[in-house]
Structure 1
Amino acid sequence: MAVLPDDHGAVRGGAPEGPLVTVLMSVYNAGEYLRPSLLSIINQTHRNLDIVIIDDGSTDGCFGSVQDLLADERVRVIHQENATKPVAFNRALDNIRGEFYAIQDADDISHPMRIEKQARALLRKPHLAAVFCGNELVINGRFMAPVFAPKNEDVCRVEINAFRMPAHDPTGMFRTSMVGHMRYEPSLKVCETFDYILRVGELHPMIVLGECLYAYRILPNSLTRRAPIWRQQFATEAFKRACDRRGLRFEQISEDTSDANKLSRNSLLDNNIAAHFMTSVLDLRRSNRRLLAVKTGWQCACLHPADLHYYKALVYALMPPRAASRLRRAFPTIPLEAKK
């Protein structure tokens, strides 16, 4: 195995231990974020990795910044013409070598022990098909709003039955022997992971670890953030596919009753990030980190100071925890299931 320095000069190396884990990364014009994202995987405490990168026709020269990292013999790069993210992921799935496989978005950050802790959970419970974890957000270079409540198999089943992902999609690690044959739906240019995780959860048990091990970067120039109606069309198609699999009658959500149409324009443009902040505040309050909960609520309000929806997290942070939880259950705000 190659021994490479990290960006702080530390040398990482040593013999691989534990199960082989394939990490799948689809890259399309990831720019300056590709290097820290790839470094966060290369520098994992779990060393026995097989890192498969699909270059989905990048044109911004982002691979020029990681040439030294590609010398790590655990890294494989497959170049292709731009064919959309689900197609890229399917090609990566065709090249899996590991007992488990994990997802890493090309602009996000995995915490150092993410792979180790998720692989350990899959080893301890051989009947699980997937293990997810909590995540925080990265906005303008600042890490904020961690969510970390654990979810057992029963809770995850309830989420799947309600057409919801139990956790943020790129935090997943999957058991190859159980779901390695499944593929992403190429017709879903976004929401492909929503559809994929619903299909996995309909067939197999999964859990969410009660730790924040992943940082999800919010990019202001994302295509789905600029085109919420276009994004919602794919979300509706993924929902329809789930109804068909479950033998349920699909009825088009009317414009007057759609959750999307009850949100402010800002919430539509950012996939309702405020809902993530609300969840983070409740998690922090339950763990007795009240000051951080208030700070998190304030950070949400600062995103759009003129939009009252973004003050809800701050209200949750300031009111008694039980009252906040009851209010959230009475008036749930579900983030739109779509990728950036």
Structure 2
Amino acid sequence: MNEILISIIMPAYNVSQFIDEAIDSILQQTHKNFELLICDDASTDDTLDKINQYNDSRIKLHINKKNIGYLKTCNFLASKANGEYITFQDADDASHCKRIELLLAVIKKDNADLVGSSRICNFGSNVEKITNYPTDHRAIVRSFSSIGSRSFFPNSVMFSQAVYKKIGLYRDCFNRIGAEDYDWILRASESFTLVNILQACYFYRDNPHSVSRTWQLDVNNVANMSPFIAYKMYLARVEGENEIAEYDKYTKKYLKYPISHLVVVRRLLTTGQYRQFIKLYIKMLGIYKLRVFFYIDFWLIFRDILRRVV
């Protein structure tokens, strides 16, 4: 009996330090019938050289002449997928050797349209932790009421071509601001059955240099609130209202919303990026004309630094 063909999409940008481990974890899968669709998004390091070292007919390499970003690269790769099911693998993460086998088994058993798994965070470090998610569709949908709730870890998800044909993948309105995966899961939940398995099949690396850890004040002022925007669009759809109007309303609002700037600096602080934290905070003080509000918040953040150091 022939195995079902699975398409695995892997966008790659400046991940030469990690991509070997990501590719190896896919090549070692117990389910052997897959195509690994890799796209180098105009990397400036030797990521492409690392990819070219592999000689496996299941690897299909695409190369962007210029950087187009994670969202558009994922969409491009999904359009090239030939498999009956599609899943993801970030180039700086890894997968358990039975990940595809386990997800596919649940899809067949439960007749689910999308199946995800728990994840192991910060794998390979001294602070590994397993993040668990609700397992059945109703519990997953209920968890959406907590804005930004990650009831699915999107990179762990396997989904059918039927899902892709109906809702596509990521929407351009979330390009470079994030939460494109959250928006996608919310849209999928309206028409398809979602399931999680308890096994931690996806190994997530907390990479300080990844896209999600690169903070730019002007862009990420909206990006920090993008899960909230995705959720408000979801509610608008459920209630039969205009979701685009909600998107326009909140993106304009958060372009001038200083609280989201504070989210950026706090994240820099908690990830130990102290130089970037200081530079960004000084820039914020200039933008907001040295408002007292920011002085107060600065001392609260500075207190946190002292506690960490002491």
Q: Is TM more than 0.5 here?
A: yes
- Residue of 111, 114, 118 corresponding to 1:130: 114
TM-score normalised by the chain length of structure 1: 0.66
Equivalence map 1:77-88=2 (5 Å):
77-80=61-64, 81-88=66-73
Cα deviations by residue, 1:249-275 (Å, 9 ceiling, x for unpaired): 958599xxx99799795457669xxxx
Q: CA deviation at 1:137?
A: 1.3
> What percent of counterpart residues are identical?
21
The residue aligned with 2:295 is none
Kindly indicate whether residue 236 of structure 2 is the aligned counterpart of residue 244 of structure 1: yes
Q: CA deviation at 1:162?
A: 4.6
- Residue of 27, 34, 57 corresponding to 1:73: 57
The residue aligned with 1:185 is 171
Q: CA separation of 1:107/1:194 partners in 2, compared to 1, >3 Å: closer, same or farther?
A: same
Q: CA deviation at 1:86?
A: 1.2
State how far apart, in whole Å, the 1-side matches of 2:108 and 2:259 are.
Answer: 39
Q: SS in structure 2 opposite 1:244? A: helix
Retained in 1: the 8 A contact 2:40–2:47? Answer: no
State how far apart, in whole Å, the 1-side matches of 2:266 and 2:90 are.
Answer: 24
State how far apart, in whole Å, the 1-side matches of 2:118 and 2:260 are.
Answer: 24
State how far apart, in whole Å, the 2-side matches of 1:89 and 1:221 are.
Answer: 19
Q: Which amino acid aligns with 2:43?
A: S
Retained in 2: the 8 A contact 1:260–1:268? Answer: no
Q: SS in structure 2 opposite 1:117? A: helix
Q: CA separation of 1:179/1:79 partners in 2, compared to 1, >3 Å: closer, same or farther?
A: same
Retained in 2: the 8 A contact 1:118–1:173? Answer: yes
Q: CA deviation at 1:170?
A: 0.7
Retained in 2: the 8 A contact 1:224–1:230? Answer: no
Retained in 2: the 8 A contact 1:149–1:211? Answer: no
- Residue of 1, 18, 28 corresponding to 2:13: 28
Q: CA deviation at 1:213?
A: 0.8
Q: Which amino acid aligns with 2:236?
A: D
Q: Which amino acid aligns with 2:25?
A: S
The residue aligned with 1:3 is none
Q: CA deviation at 1:210?
A: 0.8
Kindly indicate whether residue 198 of structure 2 is the aligned counterpart of residue 210 of structure 1: yes
Unaligned residue ranges in structure 1 (runs of 5+): 1-15, 272-303, 308-340
Q: SS in structure 1 opposite 2:173? A: coil
The residue aligned with 2:286 is none
Q: SS in structure 2 opposite 1:156? A: helix
Q: SS in structure 2 opposite 1:306? A: helix
Q: Which amino acid aligns with 2:120?
A: E
Cα deviations by residue, 1:4-61 (Å, 9 ceiling, x for unpaired): xxxxxxxxxxxx9521111011111112111101111111111111111122221212
Q: CA deviation at 1:143?
A: 6.5
State how far apart, in whole Å, the 2-side matches of 1:149 and 1:185 are.
Answer: 25
Q: SS in structure 1 opposite 2:30? A: coil
State how far apart, in whole Å, the 2-side matches of 1:156 and 1:27 are.
Answer: 30
Q: CA deviation at 1:66?
A: 3.0
Kindly indicate whether residue 141 of structure 2 is the aligned counterpart of residue 157 of structure 1: yes
Kindly indicate whether residue 48 of structure 2 is the aligned counterpart of residue 63 of structure 1: yes
The residue aligned with 1:174 is 159
Cα deviations by residue, 1:270-297 (Å, 9 ceiling, x for unpaired): 69xxxxxxxxxxxxxxxxxxxxxxxxxx
State how far apart, in whole Å, the 1-side matches of 2:98 and 2:270 are.
Answer: 29
Q: CA deviation at 1:148?
A: 3.7
- Residue of 187, 207, 215 corresponding to 1:199: 187
The residue aligned with 1:328 is none
Q: CA deviation at 1:177?
A: 2.1
Q: Which amino acid aligns with 1:210?
A: L
The residue aligned with 2:35 is 50
Q: SS in structure 2 opposite 1:212? A: strand
State how far apart, in whole Å, the 1-side matches of 2:262 and 2:68 are.
Answer: 34
- Residue of 189, 213, 217 corresponding to 1:225: 213
TM-score normalised by the chain length of structure 2: 0.72
Q: CA separation of 1:259/1:145 partners in 2, compared to 1, >3 Å: closer, same or farther?
A: farther
